[in-house]
A and B are shown apart, each in its own frame.
Chain A
Amino acid sequence: MSHRLRVNPITCQAHGVCAELFPERITMDPWGYPLIAPQPVPDELLGHARRAVAACPTLALLLDRLD
């Protein structure tokens, strides 16, 4: 089972915590907003993804289950 990572662009305030905690899938654009790789998140990286989602100060990062 894999998951998809996406961001709510309205709530995101460019804190940048997600890119620090999940650099495998999240990088930052020139203005500090997250660039999320489109591939699904495999199970072995799920822990990092969950940690990034929980750490977002505005809860803008979202993890959806793909089934």
Chain B
Amino acid sequence: MISSSAAAPAVAIVVNSSTPLWYITRATGLVALVLLTASMALGLLASVRYASRGWPRFVTAGLHRNASVLACAFTCVHIITTLADSFVPIRLQDVVIPFISAYRPVWLGLGAIAFDLMLALTVTSLIRTRLSYRIWRLVHWAAYLCWPIAVLHGLGTGSDTPVRWVLLLTLGCVAVVAGLLGWRLACGWPSHPAARLMGALALLLALIAGGAWLTAGPLHPGWARRAGTPPSLLGGPSAAAPGSGGAR
């Protein structure tokens, strides 16, 4: 059922697509984010060599692998449903080539980058035994890029960002990864104290900058237009309260 604002311009009703595809895209996007966070968290846990009586190291290794594969699967569904949903002007090339889409180019583009990185990470990990360890490890460092880009993509493109539980979920994911990153910086590389300090500072700065951007950006009214939603998909001044299905 599509409600349009054609009849009464003064009535601020936003345009949205209520096909199941749109809901599935949003849902799978969130689940993929949670799984990607789990994968990052488990990867960081492996790097600090965490182990306990009831949690041997192979559990971390195995769960990391499973979470990564599931994150990939959910990301693929997320992408396919977005493409299949004809309401939004997103084409196949927008999936892998960043910043060329008609819909929120910058923020969708970040999703394309994150997906490309995920592909690199997954493929190299699947053929690990045929690659040199050094190359695999080099590519795997891209995980540190992939995850934050995915988070920014979700916050910038996602129409559910202002929704309280979605926001809390995303912030929760950030907290988990930031905390583990802090742990890793505290434990690792004992012979490079300067680099660790710089890393910790960079982490802190990133969190502050991220928080500032979030407040001034997606959480500030009018984000949809500023983010680059095509005008045809925008309604008039949005009267939609958070939780009503989302302004586009």
Task: Check whether chain A touches chain B (CB < 8 angstroms).
Answer: yes
Given the interface pairs A15-B49, A16-B51, the reply to whether A58 lies near B56 with Cβ below 8 Å is no
20 contacts between A and B (CB under 8 A): A11-B133, A15-B49, A16-B49, A16-B51, A16-B57, A17-B57, A17-B58, A17-B61, A20-B56, A20-B58, A21-B58, A54-B129, A55-B58, A55-B61, A57-B46, A57-B61, A58-B133, A59-B128, A59-B129, A59-B133
Complex Cα spacing A47 to B62, Å: 16
- A positions within 8 Å CB-CB of B: 11, 15-17, 20-21, 54-55, 57-59
Give min CB distance, A46 to chain B, whole Å: 16
What's the Cα separation between A20 and B58 when bound, in Å?
A: 7
Which range contains the number of B residues in contact with the other chain? 10 to 19
Shortest Cβ distance from residue B210 to the other chain A in the assembled complex, whole angstroms: 30
Distance in angstroms from B75 CB to nearest chain A CB is: 24
Contact flags B111-131 to A (C-beta < 8 A → 1, else 0): 000000000000000001100
Chain A residue numbers with a CB within 8 Å of B49 are: 15-16
Bound Cα distance A17, B61 (Å): 8
Q: How far is the CB of B80 from chain A (nearest CB, A)?
A: 30
How near does chain B come to A34, taking the closest CB pair, in angstroms? 13
List the B residue with the shortest CB-CB distance to A16: B57
Q: How far is the CA of A54 from the CA of B62 in the complex (A)?
A: 11
Chain A residues with CB under 8 A of B57: 15-17, 20
Residue of B nearest to A60 (CB): B133
Q: Which among A17, A54, A55 has the highest number of chain B CB atoms within 10 Å?
A: A17
Nearest Cβ on chain A to B63's Cβ, whole angstroms: 12
Contact with A along B44-75 (1 / 0, CB 8 A): 00100101000011100110000000000000
* CB-based nearest B residue for A52: B58
Task: Collect the chain B residues with CB atoms within 8 Å of residue A55's CB.
Answer: 58, 61-62
Question: CA–CA, A59 to B58, complex, Å?
Answer: 14
- Interface positions, chain B 130-146, Cβ under 8 Å from A, are 133
Q: Which residues of B contact A20 (CB under 8 A)?
A: 56-58
Q: Which residues of chain A are within 8 angstroms of B51 by Cβ–Cβ distance?
A: 16
* Interchain CA distance A53-B87 in the complex, whole Å: 48
Contact with A along B185-225 (1 / 0, CB 8 A): 00000000000000000000000000000000000000000
> Nearest chain-A residue to B136 (Cβ)?
A59
A62 to B: closest C-beta gap in Å: 11
Q: Which residues of A contact B58 (CB under 8 A)?
A: 17, 20-21, 55
Closest to B137 in A: A58
